Amino acid sequence: MDGMHDLGGKQGFGPVRYTLDAPAFHAAWEVRANALYAHAVRLGIFNMDEYRHAIERMEPRHYVGASYYERTLTSLATLLVEKGVLTHEELDRRAQGAVPLAAASAPGRGNVAARERFAPGDRVRVRSDSVPGHMRLPGYVRGKTGVVVSASPPYPFPDAHAHGVPAQDEPTYDVRFRSQDLWPGACDDALVHVGVFQSYLERARSSSGT
């Protein structure tokens, strides 16, 4: 799904604010929220793709106004309710107020049946798929062509793993794109590397160089 979680290349949000040597945590509740979500993953209550998908399902205004660990806490609360560990009413009672949860999830999908394997140097095109459920594909590379640099070990396909859909593990490919191909006339010349799952790629048919 295309949501507020994927803002790469979007305009109108101003410069990216950052602080050099910033601490990982700024308050005790952030440490606790991080520990609780990590503990839930270790217990097998939910997996990392479900966790990411619950964050991207947040109401856009809530997402934009929330801090990093507020998003973590929203994802954790949403999944604990969805998994039946506790109820929304229990959360509201313990918080002594309304606890916002992420929106309901749409269906996921399995691996692309016709996916191919690639080798370093292969020219590939990112499929233009749009799905209502989870997708680990930055929107700004959709439909773009790049060159495979390397492959990473197989991992559960996120579009399925975030939804409990049976699927095969598959590799991610480090694909190199030219910045001008991604944002023509709106960026400095650079090379952008993106980890792209196998099911998101197809062999490029054009003979032009990248």
**Per-residue pLDDT tens for 133-142?**
999 999 999 9
For 31-41, how does the pLDDT look when each residue is reduced to its tens digit (9 = 90+)? Answer: 999 999 999 99
Amino acid 196: pLDDT = 97
State the CATH number of the domain containing residue 192: 2.30.30.50
Per-residue tokens: 164: 């409990």
Q: Verify that 148 and 94 share a domain, yes or no.
A: no
Q: Verify that 2 and 51 share a domain, yes or no.
A: yes
Q: Verify that 67 and 148 share a domain, yes or no.
A: no
Examine residue 43 and state whether it is found in any structural domain, yes or no: yes
- Domain range for 165 is 123-203
Amino acid 161: pLDDT = 96
Q: Which of 101, 133, 153 is the last residue of a domain?
A: 101
Examine residue 115 and state whether it is found in any structural domain, yes or no: no
DSSP 200: G
Amino acid 125: pLDDT = 97
Examine residue 27 and state whether it is found in any structural domain, yes or no: yes
Examine residue 26 and state whether it is found in any structural domain, yes or no: yes
Q: Verify that 96 and 129 share a domain, yes or no.
A: no
Q: Verify that 88 and 128 share a domain, yes or no.
A: no
Strand boundaries in the chain, DSSP class E: 123-126, 145-151, 155-156, 169-170, 172-178, 191-197, 201-203
Q: Verify that 19 and 50 share a domain, yes or no.
A: yes
Is residue 187's pLDDT more than 90? no
Examine residue 15 and state whether it is found in any structural domain, yes or no: yes
Q: Verify that 76 and 136 share a domain, yes or no.
A: no
Is residue 210's pLDDT more than 60? no
Q: Which of 42, 71, 101 is the last residue of a domain?
A: 101
Domain count, the chain: 2
Q: Verify that 25 and 91 share a domain, yes or no.
A: yes
Helices (H), the chain: 28-42, 48-56, 60-65, 68-82, 88-95, 158-161, 179-182
Band of the pLDDT at 14, cuts 50, 70, 90?
confident
- List beta partners, residue 177: 192
Q: Give, rounded to a whole angstrom, the gap between the first and last alpha carbons of the chain.
A: 28
For 94-127, how does the pLDDT look when each residue is reduced to its tens digit (9 = 90+)? Answer: 999 999 999 999 999 999 999 999 999 999 999 9
State the CATH number of the domain containing residue 66: 1.10.472.20
Examine residue 128 and state whether it is found in any structural domain, yes or no: yes
Amino acid 9: pLDDT = 74
Amino acid 206: pLDDT = 64
**Section 56-62 average pLDDT:** 94
**Section 53-76 average pLDDT:** 95
Q: Verify that 94 and 184 share a domain, yes or no.
A: no
Band of the pLDDT at 207, cuts 50, 70, 90?
low
Q: Verify that 18 and 76 share a domain, yes or no.
A: yes
Q: Verify that 84 and 8 share a domain, yes or no.
A: yes
Q: Verify that 88 and 18 share a domain, yes or no.
A: yes
Examine residue 152 and state whether it is found in any structural domain, yes or no: yes
Alpha carbons within 13 angstroms on the beta-carbon side of residue 132 total: 6
Band of the pLDDT at 18, cuts 50, 70, 90?
confident
Examine residue 112 and state whether it is found in any structural domain, yes or no: no
**Section 179-199 average pLDDT:** 94
